[in-house]
A and B are shown apart, each in its own frame.
Chain A
């Protein structure tokens, strides 16, 4: 396979090419777009499809049996700061990269249906966003991750502010600014936390400063330091998801975004936060994760309940999708902070599932708006199914997947999450079960209100065309594939997930007992971990040397 830099920078490069082409052509004349396919649009589609092809290659080429980094690219970026340009595929990110490239490909194709003002610039930002998101997923260096994490917001700022769908421009710019500042507050806190992690671990543990994830030994840090660093990271990730008390930017932001942008924003960006917890916070700060486990679980739980409640009381179809994402992301957080392999695996699977479901759902919202004459209000929809059987069936598949009907991939994900939480905190698991019920309420409500009932006045129903089919079909196909064969994702991510949650898992189940005694009494756990390929250092987490575990191994 080609180096990972290609998959990251290919979209941005083609986006830039498109922008330059437009600049060269529009020199002298107005540069007003005619509509339909434009050169920048075509280049963007090529870039997105190229990235998609590469990511499928990486998925096929993935060696499931090891926790080793694969396809590593590692060069020094800034020597004096110990920052590496280090990229790699792991079991954690391989499917998220696949999801990102798929959703961006679909959204780019979908974006070509409309005539954008200054298409070159639009597609440049769009593709830059893809590059930044891929970079964040693939980065194996803390500082690089932070850089990509912050960077990915900038193109979205331009996309939403410049091409947003809200009719009132002042409101739109305000919503955009709010969104960006909200998310940047978290990101910048994370920047401070990341630098502190690298610098302080190097100071405490001796040795040169480094930000490479595999070489930071944050366990040397005092628990007070670990705690504040954890909270800063959590702030960044929870805002991005968004989770309940930090979701203030979401309603305005969702309403302001063009639907194509929203597809990837909701489908992919929220996952970067969840991925950050799994890939960075849990392995680096297992102690703090255990310390704040209850807090995080409660936040997750409130997100589920609040998101679901909002989702079945809103009438704006877009916001129903938005709040359902809050609830779904709550489930994902719940799984991550179960702090055991089942929960984490479920969370990872659910990240992919949610992305695959929410993007078509939002696209369907746009299709519904076409049929109601522009309104996205469910009260003005109804009876669309009569003349649009294909749309109705696709919608039904998506809606059923959203509510995690048994047999869907989402069911497997939620099941694993609840299983993990069940093992960790029984009371929380019991409340979380209600979220599953609530999901069916809002998903079916959206479907029934729009598709069934009497045909609302102003609704002109017609079925989807080939173009819309081409956008929806791949996502739905993958949803069905994961429903029939979830092992595809589970198998590949299993080892990496176990290795990443192992320290936190031990800390959670051992408490303050000596690690050796604990592992002795939980022999099964130790053997399981050793089989998972976790290194002695990972197993010992914070307080014991690796030797004791290796004895058991």
Chain B
């Protein structure tokens, strides 16, 4: 069989996923992916969840007025911890609710607020727009915490894939600019490194939902011709940061069968060496973002449980 190391339940899920989310994304597929990865109708997303949603605006890079949504647990008052979330989508597609089903469930389950951000997308808005938009959201959230009923000591940066790269970039910016300090960073299968030199980068061409070519497309959209050169900021590609000391406690999860496996594991190892409390989970047989595409499977459920447990410990000690 073609993908012997992918978990059998996940291999079955790929028969359904294939075609909706092609494993190899070239620039000509960006319009298709923007349609395909767009979140569904809000009523469907929130159906059955005891939450309220407020759409707000915040100042992004260079003061641009950008949108965000605050999802709050119904009937729970007072200052609450908050997840400041940056959605997945390879830097090029997705909206603030794309791939967010699992995170949305945490709002009521843990009694926390979710602030999810509509950062601007590459290639139309290359670096530094996306990460600076996200940093702008953090600063705004901290400034408005009293009005928004958010505990400023309990803001957790959370991202998946490209969003996780953005979360790490925001954490670095906050450290270096003396900005608001997040209480943790949740990095799900993070997109950290435009150099694409790890072994796992090359192992999964045409497999899963995000392969080497897709990654090159995303990094090139974000960085243009500078992608892969010496001329790339660590805020764009956090794996390049020489100094990881002083970053908030981290949680990293990644699958064994995805291109980000090695750069995620290396980043965790470097965080430990820098004295940053870090929890790392590497899920056997998992392809990239399997918890988004195949949430019902044994591996995805274990992944979600471990992550939820850490979020609970970090936000509600």
Q: Does B associate with A?
A: no
